[in-house]
Structure 1
Amino acid sequence: MNKENIIQKLPYTKPFLFVDEIIEIDDIHIKGAYTFLQDEYFYKGHFKDNPITPGVILTECMAQIGMACFGIYLLKGEWNQAKNGIAITSSDMNFYKPVYPTEKVVVIAEKEYFRFNKLKCKVAMYNSEDILVAKGIVSGMTFMKNDE
């Protein structure tokens, strides 16, 4: 499975897709990037005259790269977007620096465990100056969609 194919398999689209590229991936870690565009919907009204990216969006970006993309890769071809869903089950994040419109971030996730379709990862986000923006733990799972 190639890097671009993984992104295409994600169950997200704009304006809620926060993955531009997967830089590297193997069975132990993933590294991906996203650039927050100037006109993202969540900047309207989030700190008048000084928009910053909400922490929940940073968490979502880390989960999409570090849990969803990584999980699809680890399933080794067993992922079927029509039949499977992805859900974040928990997160514990610490934030250190704001992320502004037009900033590119890099997310690195390291697998803690992956079994029974459950994935837990340590995640870290860095800005374009390689300064730590946020770090924490994300966990998630895949599930069979209800056919009804």
Structure 2
Amino acid sequence: MINPEEIIAQLPYTKPFLFVDEIESVNEEEITGNYHFPKDSYFYKGHFKDSPVTPGVILTECAAQIGVVCLGIFLGADEEQNAVEEKVQIALTSTAMDFYIPVFPGERVYVRAKKMYFRFNKLKCEVKMYNEEEKLICKGEIAGMMNLKL
């Protein structure tokens, strides 16, 4: 099986748009991972003036990168070669997120995602994001199309 470090290496993102620090666990049904939002992240400069908070679209992106893209790479990996045979390409197809509490600069978030279905290269997951105190930040459903060889 492909390991968490190999999954992260296959991601089609780099800093400053990479929102995955670690994959804590992954199997064919679910994934957990985390990301620390650096205090000097570019989006805090204008969101909000004198009171920075992580934009919901960035939280959604973090949840999608861990909960859909990383899980999709795991599901699409060649079990014999322990690797993805081609560059990962993904297109977000839908999101529905509800937000409950803000994420401030310097916070670490934890994403837990459960596969709802993966067929015809479309992966849909139920995602939940928590803070270090295990308070629910947001939850919802995210889906994307992947080009992985199956």
* TM bucket, shorter chain: over 0.9
Any residues of structure 2 matched to 1:9-48 within 5 Å, and which? 9-48=10-49
Equivalent of 2:84 in 79, 84, 100: 79
Distance 2:84 2:143 in 1: 18
- 2:48 aligned partner, one-letter code: F
Q: What is the RMSD of the two structures over their aligned residues, measured on CA atoms? A: 1.2
Structure 1 residue aligned with 2:69: 68
Structure 2 residue aligned with 1:130: 134
Structure 1 position 81, deviation (Å): 4.5
Contact map agreement 2:100 2:136 (CA 8 A) in 1: yes
Identity of aligned residues (%): 58
- 2:25 aligned partner, one-letter code: E
Q: Structure 1 stretches of 5 or more lacking a match?
A: none
Cα deviation code 1:42-82 (max 9, x no counterpart): 00111111100000000000000000000000012373443
With the length of structure 2 as denominator, give the TM-score of the two structures: 0.92
Distance 2:101 2:140 in 1: 14
Contact map agreement 1:122 1:137 (CA 8 A) in 2: yes
Q: Structure 2 stretches of 5 or more lacking a match?
A: none
Cα deviation code 1:20-42 (max 9, x no counterpart): 00000001100000000001010
Following TM superposition, where does structure 1 have runs of at least 4 consecutive aligned residues deviating by more than 4 angstroms? none
Structure 2 residue aligned with 1:139: 143
Equivalent of 1:116 in 116, 120, 139: 120
Q: How many residues align?
A: 143
Secondary structure of the 2:66 match is helix
